[in-house]
Chain A
Amino acid sequence: MIAYIGYFLILLALLNISLLVVSKPLLYKNSDAYNNLVLSTSKLQFPIILLSFICLITSFVLDDFSLKYISSNSNSALPFYYKISATWAGHEGSMLLWCLILSLWMFLASVYSKSLDPSFRTIFLSIMGFLNIGFLAFLVFTSNPFERNVSIPIDGKDLNPLLQDFGLIIHPPMLYMGYVGLSVVFAFALTCCIKCDFKKEWAKWIRPWALMSWAFLTMGIALGSWWAYYELGWGGWWFWDPVENASFMPWLVTTALIHSLIICEQKSMFKNWTIILAIFAFALSILGTFLVRSGILISVHSFANDPARGAFILMFLVVILGLSFFLYFRNSSKMNDSFSFNLISKESFFLMNNILLITATFTILLGTIYPLILDLLGLEKISVGTPYYNAVFLPIMTPLVLLAGFIPIYAFFRHDNNSNLIKYFFLNMFLVLIFSLMSIYFTSNFNLFVFIGYLIFFWISFNLIFFVYKRYSDSKSLYFIRNNIGMLLAHLGLAIFVLGSTIVENNKIEKETIVKLGDTVEIKNYNFTFSGLREFEGPNYKSVRGEFLVKKNGLEETVLFPEKRLYFSSEMPMTEAGISPGFTRDLYITLGNMISDNSWSVRIYHKPLIRLIWLGAILMAIGAVLSIIFRKKAQSPYKATN
């Protein structure tokens, strides 16, 4: 019964949003009425889909195995909270979540867009409505979560054990909030194309939306990486897997976008370029969905796929991109956009930032689809992974992160008096060099990459300090901190991320060995003693749990419990790592195979500073949110002089 209501509500939502199209010819004379209609349908969409989503969750909790989606993704023995998260663990449910989030963004966009002029607002919301129609049609025709089973099974198959995990409860909603949030930016950019205009104030209006999507994407990606680290059992935090790439590409383009929007707002430049970025950011997030859902990619993260769905998304993508570029090329020349600046100027540096980010995105796109193209052409199959990206992606990112250190220069650009610039610059470089060299002392395995990592970390952070100092000495007040705190935190987050990832990749210690009960393994100044092993039963799995006593310099530090689980529903054993997290290092143990009685193969990892990777990401996301909260409401005094 509940499932019927849920299905009915989806159809109702599709009908509701289709009113946009149907009523357009009927109300073309009465634009006020049409504006109001668009507004009310946009607002109504969210509660309808929310109710439908609640119906699906309820069906999961009540174990309604008459639904195909539930019988293949849940099981009566599954704990209560995983039954709820199973709602978005498979393809159909995650598409419903996608539609729910799309309607949420549309709802927010219709509530907070009062300041836009009415005709602009109507076009903007209609475009969001069209996207809604597309995805709802996709849901109804190819991926209906409320589809019935022909015969009702006694029990469900169970949720994929990899997904029975806290990280995976919150990771998809976060990521989708980011992906779909880009639809607001996209719809907005397209409206500018249609209107042949992109006012400064509009750039100001759209930036918080772009920042919010970016913050969600950042958190979504970081959560995915954290999950892979503790769940997949080999201690890696990024694999350059196609699915990871699919989320990283929109992130990079959105990073470029939130920078170029600053120039749009402050200098009224880069408008066309920004519109292209907005279109691509959203197109890449749909492309990501296509790659993941169609099954043309093989990936550990892709849990559901079907060629028919792939064809639908590909068509949808072609239509969206085709229409966007048609509108763009027809109208962009009419837009009042200037693109002239000095080679050394804020505009120029921001453009370099954009160029490098776009090139980085292109590299990942190339690495992701090149093997597919070779496959299509019937050429030799290849795999593109970490070695390729280390060789090609990192050289693009290194100048980019160095460029991030140029922030204080903008403080100098505010005034004509630049006499101190060179002095500061060299003093700063000198300090960076000294500190980087000093850090060598604290590093066990030193090489060129570690040195570059230190250099980048100190370069960015010292420059941020210089920026604060310079702005303070110019204005003699700390008020500017309010407007810049988001930017400062986000860039500090970047520096911390770079430091963490370089150190862990170059200084980690990994040991694979066979231990008997009572054996001790030594890594650095840590002793790991295999002190116990016992079997126990969880709600829907059997488990063997090892016990490792960890001593540091002879003093007891912690006890780790790596597990090997066999879920009743699956053949493959799952490893659960025993992790002792710490700011300076993580200790990480996984159980491999049993060699003989009480003798196991184990992997023991020592990962220095790995937590900085996620700390950096969290700082970036917080920075973005603070930039939204403390964005400039009024014109700042020195704008007039620029």
Chain B
Amino acid sequence: MKKFYLNLEKLLKATFSILILSLSSLTHADDNVEKNILYNDLIKEIRCMVCQNQNIAESEAPLAVDLREKVKELIANGKTEEEIKKFMTDRYSSFILYDPPRNRQNIFLWFGPLIFLLLITFFLYRKSAK
């Protein structure tokens, strides 16, 4: 199941990146700008573990300040988004990321809305056909 999942994700990512690349090939951003964007996106996806539901971009708690520095450092060392996320979850569990892991435990979280959509559509339209 997990393998199917990963393959599906890879396929979707590949399709999307081709689409986006082909559309955005007109503009090419330089390396520094891209690192800056990555930094600003990442600090919004990482949770400040000692605050009440704040990301580390928002929080001024010492931990958040440290983590921001850590993210900056990892990016400067050329780490990719996935590597930095893994670095964080390895140390602080997946609670630290606002992106819940795609695993068996969260299968209903990720697919629940789709199941709900199909069920309710089926139910309401069947009612109309009567």
Contacts and interface: CB of A to CB of B under 8 A. Distances in A.
Contacts of B16: 448
Interface residues of B, number: 49
A362 B113 contact: yes
B23 A298 contact: no
B98 A383 contact: yes
Interface string B55-79: 1011010000100000000000000
Interface string B19-39: 110011011010000001001
Nearest to A510: B40
B58 A234 contact: yes
**Secondary structure of the B side of the interface?**
helix
Contacts of A169: none
Contacts of A385: 45, 47, 55, 98-99
A36 interface: no
B110 interface: yes
A59 interface: no
Given A236-B44, A572-B60, A359 B120 contact: yes
Interface in A554-601: 572-573, 575, 592-593
A382 B97 CA distance: 8
B120 A355 contact: yes
Contact of A510 (B36, B97, B109, B128): B36
Contact of A386 (B44, B51, B109): B44
Interface in A502-521: 510-512
Contacts, number: 133
Given A380-B105, A385-B99, A355 B124 contact: yes
Nearest to B58: A234
Contacts of A387: 45, 97-99
B117 interface: yes
A287 B39 CA distance: 36
A21 interface: no
Contacts of B112: 362-363, 366
25 contacts: A240-B98, A242-B53, A299-B52, A355-B124, A359-B117, A370-B106, A370-B108, A370-B109, A374-B105, A380-B105, A381-B93, A382-B94, A382-B106, A383-B47, A383-B94, A385-B47, A385-B98, A387-B98, A388-B100, A388-B109, A396-B113, A446-B24, A446-B27, A447-B23, A511-B36
Interface of A: 232-234, 236, 239-242, 273, 297-300, 302, 339-341, 348, 351, 355-356, 358-359, 362-363, 366-367, 370, 374, 379-388, 392, 396, 440, 444-448, 451, 510-512, 572-573, 575, 592-593
